[in-house]
Amino acid sequence: MKAILSWAMAVTIALFALAGVGRAQDSSTTVTLFSIKNGETLLLRSITTVSPNCEPLFVSFDSIDVIEGPPELSLKGEPDKVMTQSASHICPNAVSGVKVMVSAKGVDERKEAMLVFRVSYETRSGPWQQTSRFRVLMFPAQPPDAANNK
């Protein structure tokens, strides 16, 4: 009887562990958290494309389309050299790509919003696009208490 109970507990623990692994690897529900203060312009992410041996495939930047986002945020694409990685390793040299910069303006109180945008660009294989989603925390330049104490 003890052997059956031990076996049943081991199977139950294994099933819970496997279920947890499946959820941990599900990146479709993962949203990156990003914070910004009023008046700041920050690097949100870099975008490029390389081959498995880190050969650059990125040709040119076309546009950024904000699909969902608050009016206090604006995005700008700056073509530049960016660090990246291939499917198997970090590329040793920066390659051509685009830096997606985000600016906050008019944030007078703490606010949380979703930001969804699409970057369109040309590769050696033709036109391409990447869509990104961030949960953004926006803050005034200084805390409300600091502004009242002046």
> What tokens does 109 get?
């109180």
Residue with tokens 């608050």: 70
Average pLDDT taken over every residue of the chain: 84
pLDDT band of residue 92 (cuts 50, 70, 90) is very high
Tell me how far apart the alpha carbons of residues 70 and 114 are, in angstroms, rounded to a whole number: 8
Q: Are 87 and 49 in contact (CB under 8 A)?
A: no
Q: Is 82 in a helix, a strand, or coil?
A: strand
What does pTM read for this prediction?
Answer: 0.74
pLDDT digits (tens, 9 = 90+) for 51-74: 999 999 999 999 999 999 999 999
pLDDT tens track for 93-117:
999 999 999 999 999 999 999 999 9
* Chain Cα centroid distance, residue 33: 8
